[in-house]
Chains A and B, each alone.
Chain A
Amino acid sequence: MDAAALLADLQAAFPGAAPRPSADMPGLDVPAADLPAAVTRLRDAHGFDLLADLCGVDRGPAVSPRFSVVVHLLGSGHHAYLRVAAACPDDAAPEAPSLTAVHPGADWHEREAFDMFGIRFAGHPDLRRILMWDGYPHHPLRKEFPLAGMPVDLPAADVAAVTGRRVEPAPMMGGPFVSPGGTMAKAEPVARDESWNEENPKP
């Protein structure tokens, strides 16, 4: 697979397409509106017939465009991978066209991206949350969402009534625990800030 020729062909068809810096596989940025057409062209004219992954990306509230949709494609004939990314133009209410009409396998991936990032996929046949429960008010993989969670009501009102419980932030005990990197012996996950735990409150 000739990445330069592929890029030239797509740029001819979609003037907004641009090469995307990538460490592992050829990458391509396309405008969100062109995403289904570009993926269709890649499938029909370039042999990228398998949707390997689809996910959302949040670059944080300070960056614009904040949200993007990233698609990994694989050609089952030529065994090459390709990454296609589309930035959502609206930072407050991110939206991207659905790929379910091109690759039906995108269905649950898009539901996950919607659940975790709040990206709405226009044209999706059944855009519901897939991991968190229906009615959960947050999108947990957004940058401002704490890993420990936010206090909300339990999904079932009757269970909440009989137990008197809510969803509470998880005790982090100085965590989250991250690996400092390096060799296996040194890479054991540790808390970034060990000055606080359940006995010594967070300063």
Chain B
Amino acid sequence: MGNTEYAYNSKVEGEVIVTRADAVVNWVRRHSVWPMPMGLACCAIELMAAGGSRFDIARFGMEVMRFSPRQADCMIVAGTVTYKMAEVVRRIYDQMAEPKWVVAMGACASSGGMYRSYATLQGVDRIVPVDIYISGCPPRPEALLDGMMLLQEKIRTEGASLRRTFRGRTVETKVVG
């Protein structure tokens, strides 16, 4: 099942491309992922490096870091999530508009990392649904870019009419037309 049925029919006049709505919507979505930088600890430094000219996340259409959750569609959780901060992370996630994705960057966001302690949430997937986990402490910017390209791949193969279930709550996004 691919959503990549792009086809150029030279018999049709006027440079028309025939495809499916899902494929177009996903194409648009995956090349304009606007990240919400949830930088909580040291991993955020690598996230910043990924935004700089050396690694240049702009090559993937992701340079528009939005500190306002309502304008972002991919939360990059970069750092240690404490129980005290978990509430904030969840609330910002809730404020992001669908469709939205979450990337757990680094060992701490993925699993609590080296902080096996009373104060640290043992993986951000306990409070928000995570799409991509990136290993490393910290992951290099290349690893982040690799993870973001994986996310693009995931978006490409998603149905644009998105149905996401998390802990009993179902959120549905419909493509009209």
Contacts and interface: CB of A to CB of B under 8 A. Distances in A.
A132 to B, nearest CB: 7
Given A165-B126, A167-B83, A159 B90 contact: yes
Interface in B4-46: none
A41 to B, nearest CB: 38
B117 A163 contact: no
B117 A148 contact: yes
A164 B167 contact: yes
B91 A159 contact: yes
B110 interface: no
A165 B121 CA distance: 10
A98 B84 CA distance: 27
Contacts of A101: none
A123 interface: no
Interface stretch (A4-12, A50-58, A168-176): A168-176
Nearest to A149: B118
A138 B117 CA distance: 14
B169 interface: yes
Interface in B73-95: 83-84, 86-87, 90-91
Contact of B118 (A145, A159, A163, A165): A145
Interface in B152-177: 167-169
A55 to B, nearest CB: 17
Interface residues of A, number: 28
B112 interface: yes
Given A159-B87, A159-B90, A176 B169 contact: no
A172 B90 contact: no
B96 to A, nearest CB: 14
A189 to B, nearest CB: 10
B90 to A, nearest CB: 5
Interface string A138-181: 10100001111110001110010011110111111101100000
B116 A155 contact: no
B83 A155 contact: yes
Contacts of A155: 83-84, 86-87
B116 A154 contact: no
Interface string B53-88: 000000000000000000000000000000110110
Contacts of A169: 118
Nearest to B112: A170
B122 interface: yes
B120 interface: yes
Given A159-B127, A162-B90, A168-B122, 14 more contacts: A131-B84, A133-B83, A147-B116, A147-B117, A148-B116, A149-B119, A159-B91, A162-B169, A164-B167, A164-B168, A165-B126, A167-B118, A170-B120, A175-B116
21 contacts: A133-B83, A140-B119, A145-B118, A148-B116, A149-B118, A150-B118, A154-B83, A155-B83, A156-B87, A156-B91, A159-B87, A159-B90, A159-B91, A159-B127, A162-B90, A162-B167, A163-B90, A165-B127, A167-B118, A172-B116, A173-B116
Interface of A: 131-133, 138, 140, 145-150, 154-156, 159, 162-165, 167-173, 175-176
The 7 closest A-B pairs by CB, nearest first: A149-B118, A156-B87, A170-B116, A159-B90, A133-B84, A163-B127, A159-B87
Interface of B: 83-84, 86-87, 90-91, 112, 115-120, 122, 126-127, 167-169
